[in-house]
């Protein structure tokens, strides 16, 4: 492993290890399902969790899951081939949600919401079927900060994406081990690792612009106030990422 790669991995492992410890994300005996869609965040998350699995004081299992939603041109063999070569236990779930989603293509603002809702439902059910006690998602610190601003400006709430969260029906527990890892580090590490990335625009839908606007806003703020993102993330952590006290983070 080259020097730059080693330095980045150490930094990412430190962030993930700290987040896992701060929120008690993984306990002895947990079975952790990692969702891979072919994007950089999922590959990096898997890479880090495999490393932490070898050195963590608690024993836990990993199961990688790829959901094939039948998006046009989705290369269904890429992720299974990568996981098989890595020797990671995995499952591919094939469900044609795209047929449902494309019927709503004229209502562009709801397409992604519907697609995500269908994806989430299938993955949550898969976790139950597989006896997975944790679902690990690849959201990183920038996602958490941007979501906070999106909700503040467009939804009138101060809620973000909590690093540990039990779903309302109590069936699933979601964890976000990259909660303290910044996208720039994740992207730089992914580029060095040369993962088999699958483009995220196969469906041809232009995602809503609001998140891009939040990213630009935060870039501008960061230029004027260096490290402002770190301050915002620290404030969010102190405020339980906006999750009200009656909703337990720690299941
Ligand atoms: S961009 Fe395409 S694949 Fe992604 S959530 Fe929207 S409809 Fe689904």
In the prediction, which pLDDT does 204 show? 85
Nearest residue (CA) to ligand 1, atom 4 = 112
Q: Which of 118, 66, 62 is closest to 91 using CA atoms?
A: 66
pLDDT per residue over 227-243, tens digit each? Answer: 999 999 999 999 889 88
In this prediction, residue 68 has a pLDDT band, given cuts at 50, 70 and 90, of very high
Contact call for residues 160 and 242 (beta carbons, < 8 A):
yes
Name the DSSP class of 241: G
102-126 pLDDT, tens digit each: 887 665 557 888 899 999 999 999 9
Residue 108 is predicted with a pLDDT of: 56
pTM confidence score: 0.94
Mutate to test the pocket of ligand 1, among 100, 207, 210, 211 (most ligand atoms within 8 A of CB): 207
User: Residue 201 has what pLDDT?
Assistant: 87
For residues 240 and 159, what is the distance between their CA atoms, to the nearest angstrom?
9
CATH architecture of 3-242: 3-Layer(aba) Sandwich (3.40)
Domain spans, the chain: 3-242
Q: What is the dihedral of CA 93, 173, 215, 243, to 10 degrees?
A: 150
116 in contact with ligand 1, CB cutoff 6 A: yes
Cα dist from 31 to 80, 132, 135, 226, whole Å: 20, 5, 9, 39
Angle separating helix axes 210-224 and 228-238, nearest 10 degrees: 110
- pLDDT tens column, 165-220: 999 889 999 999 999 999 999 999 999 999 999 998 898 887 778 889 999 999 99
Pocket test for ligand 1, best of 201, 205, 208, 210 (most atoms within 8 A of CB): 205
Q: Terminus-to-terminus CA distance in the chain, angstroms?
A: 38
DSSP H helices, the chain, are 3-23, 40-55, 78-86, 98-102, 108-129, 141-150, 183-193, 210-224, 228-238
């Amino acid at each position: 492993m080259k020097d730059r790669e080693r330095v980045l991995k150490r930094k990412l492992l430190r962030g993930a290890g700290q987040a896992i410890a701060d929120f008690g994300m993984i306990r002895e005996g947990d079975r952790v399902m990692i969702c891979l869609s072919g994007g950089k965040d999922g590959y990096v998350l898997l890479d880090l969790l495999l490393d932490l699995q070898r050195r963590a004081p608690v024993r836990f299992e990993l199961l990688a899951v790829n959901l094939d939603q039948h998006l046009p041109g989705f290369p269904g063999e890429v992720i299974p081939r990568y996981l098989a070569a890595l020797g990671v236990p995995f499952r591919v779930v094939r469900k044609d949600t795209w047929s449902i989603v494309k019927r709503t293509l004229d209502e562009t603002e709801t397409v992604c919401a519907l697609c995500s809702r269908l994806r989430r439902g299938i993955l949550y059910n898969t976790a139950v079927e597989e006896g997975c006690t944790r679902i690990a998602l690849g959201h990183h610190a920038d996602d958490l900060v941007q979501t906070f601003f999106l909700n503040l400006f467009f939804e009138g709430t101060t809620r973000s994406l909590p690093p540990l969260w039990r779903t309302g029906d109590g069936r699933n527990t979601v964890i976000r081990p990259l909660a303290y890892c910044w996208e720039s580090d994740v992207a730089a590490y992914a580029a060095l690792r040369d993962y088999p990335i699958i483009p995220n625009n196969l469906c041809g839908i232009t995602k809503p612009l609001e998140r891009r606007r939040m990213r630009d806003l935060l870039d501008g703020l960061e230029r004027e106030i260096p490290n402002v993102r770190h301050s915002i993330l620290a404030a969010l952590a102190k405020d339980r990422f906006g999750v009200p006290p009656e909703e337990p983070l720690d299941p």
